[in-house]
């Protein structure tokens, strides 16, 4: 009985592998994967998809777009579809590759009417991200990010080190980004918007904290608290003066349209 069971499993596995590798056109598999990685107002474009034996695959590139604006572009990706996950009521897909000079890995579990996913980014160059190509953020930095999503809601944690950015001045908004070299933060998001609960900014002569920054319906609102130390240039102090609350303490309102910043 046990021997027959092994024979049946071997036959089913062989047929499944053969169907995957020879029976399903690459184009169909690529279109299915694009659908898995897309969502409301998020479109994923897959380039150079190729199947390999045993449910593995490769992609020359993947581009993620939000409302016609590029977010990220990945390249030289390899991944796998995990058929045994079907016994758990869904299908698991995982892949890894390169993003903006760094590395990215991700996995998604697609169930009936639900999607759970996780992503991990290490040492990506901030200046090479599509999202920031035409934004108010000018400069460079190294990004690490971890994110999780479950049916459109999730959370993320990020750190940017070796940060070198120009100050931001837009429509009365002033953010002294040039004074910070490290940013660490955490946020949560739902289908109707993103909330960054806390972001800390560290620099040689200044430290800051962004509190309750909310992105919703194309707008953002929050506040940046700054504590200054000795050695800060007079020009920066002059620009901060309108936001002074007490000695060495400043609060800058953050409010505006997202499209004016990104």
| Higher-scoring residue by pLDDT: 71, 243 | 243
CA distance 107 to 224: 34
Answer yes or no: is pLDDT of 239 > 70.
yes
Answer yes or no: is pLDDT of 38 > 80.
no
Q: Cβ(55)–Cβ(20) under 8 Å? A: yes
CA distance 261 to 81: 38
pLDDT tens digit sequence for 51-89: 887 788 999 999 988 777 788 899 999 999 888 877 777
Q: Which of 209, 192, 193, 190 is nearest to 201 (CA)?
A: 209
pLDDT tens digit sequence for 138-173: 889 999 999 998 877 889 999 999 999 998 887 677
pLDDT of residue 58: 92
Q: Which of 98, 138, 155, 150 is nearest to 121 (CA)?
A: 98
Q: Cβ(29)–Cβ(21) under 8 Å? A: no
Q: Cβ(149)–Cβ(116) under 8 Å? A: yes
Spell out the residues 6+ positions from residue 251 whose beta carbon is closer than 8 angstroms to its own: 223, 224, 225, 226, 243, 245
Q: Where are the alpha helices (DSSP H) in the chain?
A: 2-18, 26-36, 234-240
Put simply, whether the predicted model's pTM sits higher than 0.85 gets the answer no
Answer yes or no: is pLDDT of 1 > 60.
no
**Helices (H) and strands (E) in the chain — how many of each?**
3, 17
User: 177 in helix, strand or coil?
Assistant: helix
The residue ranges of every structural domain in the chain are: 1-111, 135-262
Percent of the chain with pLDDT over 90: 33
Q: Which of 205, 187, 204 is nearest to 196 (CA)?
A: 187
């Amino acid at each position: 009985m046990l021997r027959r069971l092994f024979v049946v499993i071997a036959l089913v596995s062989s047929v499944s592998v053969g169907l995957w590798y020879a029976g399903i056109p690459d184009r169909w598999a690529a279109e299915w994967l694009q659908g898995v990685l897309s969502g409301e107002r998020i479109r994923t474009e897959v380039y150079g998809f190729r199947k390999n034996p045993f449910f593995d695959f490769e992609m020359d590139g993947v581009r993620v777009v939000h409302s016609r604006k590029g977010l990220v572009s990945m390249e030289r990706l390899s991944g796998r579809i995990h058929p045994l996950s079907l016994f758990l009521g869904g299908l698991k897909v995982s892949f890894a590759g390169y993003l903006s000079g760094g590395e990215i890995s991700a996995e998604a579990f697609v169930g009936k009417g639900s999607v759970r996913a996780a992503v991990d980014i290490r040492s990506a160059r901030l200046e090479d991200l599509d999202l920031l190509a035409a934004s108010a953020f000018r400069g460079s930095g190294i990004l690490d990010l971890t994110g999780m999503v479950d049916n459109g809601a999730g959370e993320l944690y990020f750190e940017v080190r070796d940060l070198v950015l120009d100050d931001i001045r837009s429509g009365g908004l002033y953010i002294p980004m040039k004074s910070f070299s490290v940013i660490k933060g955490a946020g949560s998001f739902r289908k109707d918007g993103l909330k960054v609960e806390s972001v800390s900014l560290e620099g040689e002569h200044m430290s800051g904290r962004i509190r309750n920054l909310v992105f919703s319906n194309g707008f953002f609102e929050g506040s940046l608290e700054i504590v200054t130390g000795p050695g800060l240039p007079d020009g920066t102090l002059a620009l901060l003066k309108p936001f002074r609350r007490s000695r060495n303490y400043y609060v800058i309102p953050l409010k505006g349209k997202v499209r004016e910043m990104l």
